[in-house]
Amino acid sequence: MLRAEDNKFLTESGAGTGMGELLRRFWIPVLLSEELPEADGEPKKITVMGEELLAFRDSRGVVGVVDQYCPHRGANLWLGRNEECGIRCVYHGWKFDTDGRCVDMPTSYPDLNAKDLIRTKSYPAREWGEMIWAYMGPADAMPELPALEMALLPPAHRYVSKKWQDCNWVQALEGSIDTAHFTFAHLAFDKEENEILDIKKHFVNPLVRMSTDQMRWIAQDPRPVIKISPHEAGLTIAGGRLTDSDNIYWRIAQFLMPVHAYAPSAMPGENIFGQSFVPVTDTNCWIYTYAWNPERPLTEDERAAYDRGNGVIAEVDENYVPLRNKRNDYLIDRKLQKTSSYTGIKGVSEQDAAVQDSQGPIADRTREHLGPTDLGIMHFRKLLMDAARALQAGEAPPHLAHQDRYTVRSGGCVTHKAKDLAAVMVERFGDAAGFVGKPRAAAAE
């Protein structure tokens, strides 16, 4: 468990808080590119870590992220006209470019050059992997964009979406790197026959082609041994389950500082799933969800399945709110819960959201009783809090110097029980930390 003051420190993301300042030292996604589909189009209100901002795509196609409110009299710039490389306030006509500079001030005399003295808050923005990223930290400490594999690949190799969630970002991310909860939260079963159901026909991701053996091992061993391997971009978190022989079935997740996590589901050649958890306020978040395949383009059938909700990708409405959510009790089916599913909820993403939201808007970690399978959660919290406290003491996170080491993969494998984690990682990924280098199919966008 955590002390109350540590839980507060871990979960606060506002400007000036320890964790909020740590998050602001990294590039984080704030929108999907598809949410700003055209130059001079409609601007988009966004709230990121409690800050009310406005995103717009100017006449050149360049995206700006600026304060939502005009510095003149506080009118909301969302009402403004997006025109000729700037957003113009409809109250008195002040106009601002993507860098926050005032480029026109009709209410002032031209010879005073008053507009040159006015700026509104703005943050650097970049498009990367079909997401719009913002850097909200000190200008002189801006790092490179993280070299996520899915962003290095051609667009045909990836699928990107997002979903809303009604809880603090930390508990949502903790759920994603918890390799032990699969046995109960996601596994389908037949109570009458007392056997595991075909994963492709029920609640779990049908594009993860888990064998009957893998299903049985997950069901029979709910207490995987957890192994942790720190690396230059974050943590590798592996859960090993007993099999029917001298082998161990490993499910290997990745946490990448400070908000990214990769699911441990993919076997060699299968699509890989990742998520980025971005606080809106301290009690809700956007989760950017993506699937990619480094070896081939995604098929139309795969994309259609993701549109309907699949794996960590939720089935969402036009506002990216999951169709099964807190307000409709995730459409839980109690009959199904008694016969075929521990949760009675359809969809891996929705099952995760239900249990994470149920912990409260901000989980009270002073009431926890952690066990051996929570080792990855403990290391994750320590890494985040140590980095935030070091930053408060003037020490920048070392991960900022290693954005090129974010090109990692997660996934599963079966290896002999005598092998240690490093050997397992080499066997599965060719590297003891899961690094794969620049993808062979990489192409600049």
Q: Identify the pLDDT of residue 366.
A: 96
Cα 344 to the chain's mean position, in Å?
25
Please choose, from the candidates 181, 353, 363, 342, the residue with its C-alpha nearest in 3D space to the C-alpha of residue 277: 353
> Would the pLDDT of 311 be above 80?
yes
pLDDT in tens, 389-440: 999 999 999 999 999 999 999 998 888 888 888 888 888 888 888 988 777 5
**In this structure, CATH architecture of domain 27-141:** 3-layer Sandwich (2.102)
Q: Where are the domains of the chain?
A: 27-141, 149-429
pLDDT in tens, 382-401: 999 999 999 999 999 999 99
Among left, alpha and beta (phi > 0; psi -120 to 50; other), residue 275 is beta
Sign of the alpha-carbon torsion through 35, 256, 171, 304? positive
Please choose, from the candidates 207, 209, 439, 405, the residue with its C-alpha nearest in 3D space to the C-alpha of residue 309: 207
pLDDT in tens, 209-220: 456 777 777 777
> Would the pLDDT of 208 be above 50?
no
**3 state SS of 215:** helix
Residue for token pair 């594009």: 207
Lowest mean pLDDT among 124-133, 164-173, 304-313, 340-349: 340-349
The matching CATH number, chosen from 3.40.1190.10, 3.30.1600.10, 3.90.380.10, 1.10.150.120, for 149-429 is 3.90.380.10
Torsion of CA 423, 429, 432, 434, to 10 degrees: -140
pTM: 0.92
User: Which string of b and e fits 48-78 if b means at least 16 CB within 10 Å?
Assistant: bbebebbbbbbeeeebbbbbbbbbbeebbbb
Query: What mean pLDDT is reported for the chain?
Result: 90
Residue for token pair 């070091």: 390
Please choose, from the candidates 322, 30, 287, the residue with its C-alpha nearest in 3D space to the C-alpha of residue 162: 287
